[in-house]
């Protein structure tokens, strides 16, 4: 049988493993930070109608600039973070924020260039970086998973990367960054600064978004997604806000008609239901805070979380705890520092099942 190694594949891809968070059929899937609340019947109906509306013209390519969708996304961001004054000219969309990140690296990274991130952080940043031919530089987060401005600036000055990734709230730790750290990096970085806010809508009261820094910072890109708070992971819709010149750069690398007419219609419909969809965010935040308190009460070490997941530990053998939970029907994630585990925040019922299973497992 032919294996991948028998093919004339790029040398730098040899030996790599594909992305593989387990997709198992379990009663309690708490491993990929999805939103546990499915669309309401009303939204399901509206989504069906929206798809019907575009179905009759699927012989045509979609609007390759997704202009109406970008207008809707800008309107959402203006409501989420008042005062940012965004328009479609400063908002770009793609198939998940993973594709957004890929386009950023295609435009601003590449062979002979570097991207720097502060780990532990989102595991796909280094993967997408390296697959784009860009060299990855790991500058570590502080011991409490935060990032002091001085240390961040020192790393940026030492390595002078073409792209810096700052994830806030960070995955897998849940840690949000103070604007001071982001501003300090923006001042020191010679290249692009990407603030990945995939979990931005879950941030605690008083935690500002990097969207507020866009004015006057043409090398800042803030990325968001509809996969988490918007409960639309299956839609695959990610987006960014940045200076219009950044969008001009991305137009050079995006594939023609990258965002299907169905995706655009579904995403716009979901955005028109944003109050309903984001209505679940407060419940998830409350559930998260209760989970953190419970875990601490049980004697675990827990990272502060501004996201819809919690990193907790520490376990001499986390694999054994993970397996024991799985046997009880609860799938969480073995990710981040070796002695920690990450659990996504689910419904009250899912969280009760997790607590019961953890009591029997740890
Ligand atoms: C920090 C972060 N960024 C980006 C993504 C990618 O999200 P999507 O491609 O679904 O928009 C994720 C997904 O888990 C994430 O955790």
Cα 291 to ligand 1 centroid, rounded to whole Å: 22
* Ligand 1 pocket residue status of 196, Cβ below 6 Å: yes
Inform me whether the pLDDT recorded for 357 exceeds 80: yes
Among residues of the chain, what percentage have pLDDT more than 90? 95
Q: Which residue's alpha carbon is nearest to atom 2 within ligand 1?
A: 198
35 close to 350: Cβ distance less than 8 angstroms: no
Task: Determine the residue of 98, 99, 222 to mutate for testing ligand 1's pocket, defined as the one with the most ligand atoms within 8 A of the Cβ atom.
Answer: 98
Per residue in 39-53, pLDDT tens?
A: 999 999 999 999 999
Query: Mean of the pLDDT values across residues 268-285?
Result: 95
pLDDT given at position 103: 98
**Residue 53 sits in the same domain as residue 196:** yes
CA distance 110 to 29: 36
Q: Which atom of ligand 1 is least distant from the CA of 236?
A: 10
Inform me whether the pLDDT recorded for 204 exceeds 90: no
Residue 293 lies in a domain: yes
CA distance 70 to 178: 28
DSSP letter string, 216-273: T-TTEEEEEESSSTTS-GGG--EEEEE-HHHHHHHHTTSPTT-S-HHHHHHHHHHHHT
* Ligand 1 pocket residue status of 120, Cβ below 6 Å: no
Domain of residue 228, CATH code: 3.40.640.10
Domain that holds residue 184: 42-273
* Ligand 1 pocket residue status of 166, Cβ below 6 Å: no
Q: To 5 degrees, how large is the angle CA 330–CA 145–CA 324?
A: 20
pLDDT given at position 207: 86
Residue 15 lies in a domain: no
Q: What share of the chain is helix, strand, coil (3-state, %, to 5)?
A: 45, 15, 40
**Residue 258 sits in the same domain as residue 307:** no
pLDDT given at position 167: 98
Query: Mean of the pLDDT values across residues 95-102?
Result: 98
Burial 22-46 (b: 16+ CB within 10 A, else e): eeeeeebbbbbbbbbbebeeebeeb
* Ligand 1 pocket residue status of 122, Cβ below 6 Å: yes
Q: Does this model's pTM top 0.95?
A: yes
Inform me whether the pLDDT recorded for 180 exceeds 80: yes
Cα 196 to ligand 1 centroid, rounded to whole Å: 8
pLDDT band at 340, cuts 50/70/90? very high
Q: Which residue's alpha carbon is nearest to atom 12 within ligand 1?
A: 198
* Ligand 1 pocket residue status of 31, Cβ below 6 Å: no
- Spatial strand order of the sheet with 135-140 comes to 91-94, 238-242, 220-225, 192-196, 163-167, 114-119, 135-140
Give the β-pairing of 192-196 and 163-167.
parallel
How many independent structural domains does the chain possess? Answer: 2
**Residue 35 sits in the same domain as residue 138:** no
Residue 6 lies in a domain: no
């Amino acid at each position: 049988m032919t294996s991948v190694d028998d093919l004339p594949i790029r040398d730098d891809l040899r030996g790599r493993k594909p992305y593989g968070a387990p997709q198992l059929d379990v009663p309690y899937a708490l491993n990929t930070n999805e939103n546990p609340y499915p669309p309401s019947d009303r939204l399901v109906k509206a989504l069906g109608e929206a798809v019907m509306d575009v179905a009759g013209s699927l012989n045509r390519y979609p609007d390759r600039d997704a202009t109406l969708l970008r207008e809707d996304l800008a309107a959402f961001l203006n409501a989420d973070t008042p005062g940012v004054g965004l328009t479609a000219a400063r908002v770009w969309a793609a198939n998940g924020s993973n594709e957004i990140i890929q386009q950023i690296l295609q435009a601003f990274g590449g062979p002979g260039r570097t991207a720097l991130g502060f780990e532990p952080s989102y595991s796909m940043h280094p993967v997408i970086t390296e697959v784009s031919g860009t060299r990855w530089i790991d500058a570590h987060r502080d011991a409490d998973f935060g990032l002091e401005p001085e240390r961040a600036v020192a790393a940026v000055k030492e390595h002078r990367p073409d792209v810096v990734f700052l994830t806030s709230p960070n995955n897998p730790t849940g840690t949000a960054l103070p604007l001071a750290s982001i501003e300090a990096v923006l001042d020191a970085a010679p290249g692009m600064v990407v603030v990945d806010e995939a979990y931005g809508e879950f941030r605690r009261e008083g935690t500002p978004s990097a969207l507020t820094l866009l004015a006057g910072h043409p090398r800042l890109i803030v990325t968001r997604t509809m996969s988490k708070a918007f409960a639309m992971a299956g839609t695959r819709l990610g987006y960014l806000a940045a200076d219009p010149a950044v969008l001009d750069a991305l137009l050079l690398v995006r594939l023609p008609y990258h965002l299907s007419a169905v995706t655009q219609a579904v995403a716009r419909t979901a955005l028109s239901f944003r109050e309903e969809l984001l209505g679940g965010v407060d419940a998830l935040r409350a559930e998260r805070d209760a989970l953190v308190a419970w875990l601490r009460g049980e004697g675990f070490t827990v990272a502060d979380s501004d996201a819809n997941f919690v990193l907790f530990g520490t376990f001499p053998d986390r694999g054994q705890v993970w397996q024991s939970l799985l046997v009880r029907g609860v799938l969480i994630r073995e990710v981040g520092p070796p002695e920690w585990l990450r659990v996504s925040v689910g419904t009250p019922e899912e969280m009760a099942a997790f607590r019961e299973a953890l009591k029997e497992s740890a």
